[in-house]
Amino acid sequence: MWSPPLDWRYVVSRMRPDLREEYTARCEAWHAAHPPAPAPPPKPPPPESTVNVELFNKAFKKYGAVIPIPELYKIGYTKEQVAKVIARRKWYKDNDKKLQDYIEKHWPGGKTKKRKVIKAVNKRMPGGIENV
């Protein structure tokens, strides 16, 4: 499949005069047969968040990562967001054993041998400072 180069007008300006017309006609015919694709429509802006950040930070400091469900409603979570939080918590609770096994398989811990600690020895030069 032939297609003209991106800078075909520049190429035509540098061509021999006897080839210019034929090459120009071929490039213009190709561009007529292959119009550019229309630009995709812009994405809609994300919806405004209803979550109060200050209340969320206070609840996070008080409860940690697992904020109680009534507190989530007070913070400003919608019903869909709360349902998503509940589903995620349920999934993690159901798959806890598999996740722990995976972590232990890839990053084993607690099975290390105790190594003997080598103590530093303070050696002195024989004869003291006189040998310097």
* Residue boundaries of the structural domains of the chain: 7-35, 53-106
Other residues' Cβ atoms within 10 Å of the Cβ of residue 45: 6
pLDDT in tens, the chain (132 residues): 899 999 999 999 999 999 999 999 999 999 999 999 999 999 999 888 899 999 999 999 999 999 999 999 999 999 999 999 999 999 999 999 999 999 989 988 766 677 888 888 777 666 656 555
For residue 64, what pLDDT is reported? 94
In the prediction, which pLDDT does 114 show?
77
* Res 108: pLDDT: 80
